C-alpha cells in the first residue's frame, strides 16, 4: 500500500513537472537536475541540497544568481548557464510545491541537537549572534525570500555557513556573513543538525 502511494506520488509529480506553467521540464529534469537533487527535489545524497518545499522566490533568486555567476558553484554555474527565465520560474514552481521531509536525529546526537535548538531560538548573546528563528521562522520554514532550513541535509547547511563565513558565498546582502563569522564550529554543526530534524506545523520540535 505504502509503495503504491509512493509510486502514485511520483507519477503525479512527473505529470506536474511536464505541465508546469506550459514549460516542458521533463527532459531537463530527467537529464540533469534529478541526478543530484532527486526526482522531486528530495536529494538522496547528503552532498546535494534538498529543493523539495524550498520557497519559490528564494529558488528563483538562487537560480538567477547561479546563472549570472553572483553565487559561485562550479557545478551549478554550469547547470544554470543555459536556463531561460521561463524554465527558472517553472523549476522554482515545481520544487516549491513538493512535500517536505525531515531527517531522523540519532539518540546519541540529542545533546548536540539541544545546543543547536538553543542557538536557533535564542542565538548567542555573548558573541552577538541573533536567533536564527528571527528571520528563518520558528519552524525554519523561511518565507518568500528567506530559505527554508527545515529538513535540509546538515552537511549542506554546514557547508553554506562556512561559505558565508569565508566569503565564498556572497550573493546575499551580507546578513549571513555577519552572523556566520561569529559562529563556532560546534555551533555550526549543532544548528545544522537541529534544523535537519525539523518540520513545521507542529512537527517534532519539542522546544
Residues near ligand HEC, by CB under 6 A: 28, 32-33, 35-37, 48-49, 51, 54, 59, 61-63, 73, 75-76, 79, 91, 119, 129-130, 132, 134-136, 146-147, 149, 157, 159-161, 171-172, 175-176, 179, 191
Between CA 180 and CA 191, with CA 186 as vertex, the angle to 5 degrees is: 65
CA 166 to chain centre: 20
Give the shortest CB-160-to-ligand HEC separation in angstroms.
4
Give the shortest CB-43-to-ligand HEC separation in angstroms.
8
Taken in order 175, 142, 57, 89, the sign of the CA dihedral is positive
Give the shortest CB-98-to-ligand HEC separation in angstroms.
12
Residue placing its CB nearer to ligand HEC in the complex, 36 or 114? 36
Residue placing its CB nearer to ligand HEC in the complex, 7 or 174? 174
CA 4 to chain centre: 28
The three cell numbers of residue 194 are 537541529
CB 105 within 8 A of CB 196: yes
CB 128 within 8 A of CB 143: no
Residue placing its CB nearer to ligand HEC in the complex, 9 or 133? 133
Amino acid at each position: 500500500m505504502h509503495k503504491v502511494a509512493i509510486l502514485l506520488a511520483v507519477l503525479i509529480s512527473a505529470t506536474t513537472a511536464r505541465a508546469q506553467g506550459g514549460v516542458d521540464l521533463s527532459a531537463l529534469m530527467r537529464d540533469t537536475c534529478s541526478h543530484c537533487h532527486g526526482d522531486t527535489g528530495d536529494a538522496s545524497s547528503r552532498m546535494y541540497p534538498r529543493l523539495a518545499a524550498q520557497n519559490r522566490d528564494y529558488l528563483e533568486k538562487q537560480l538567477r544568481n547561479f546563472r549570472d555567476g553572483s553565487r559561485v558553484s562550479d557545478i551549478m554555474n554550469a547547470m544554470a548557464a543555459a536556463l531561460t527565465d521561463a524554465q527558472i520560474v517553472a523549476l522554482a514552481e515545481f520544487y516549491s510545491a513538493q512535500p517536505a521531509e525531515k531527517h531522523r536525529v540519532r539518540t546519541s546526537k540529542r545533546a548536540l541537537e539541544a545546543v543547536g535548538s538553543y542557538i536557533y531560538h535564542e542565538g548567542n548573546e555573548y558573541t552577538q549572534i541573533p536567533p536564527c528563528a528571527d528571520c528563518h521562522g520558528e519552524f525554519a520554514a523561511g518565507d518568500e525570500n528567506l530559505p527554508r532550513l527545515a529538513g535540509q541535509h546538515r552537511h549542506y547547511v554546514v557547508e553554506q555557513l562556512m561559505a558565508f563565513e569565508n566569503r565564498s558565498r556572497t550573493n546575499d546582502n551580507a546578513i549571513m556573513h555577519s552572523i556566520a563569522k561569529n559562529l563556532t564550529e560546534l555551533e555550526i554543526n549543532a544548528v545544522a543538525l537541529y534544523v535537519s530534524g525539523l518540520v513545521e506545523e507542529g512537527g517534532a520540535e519539542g522546544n
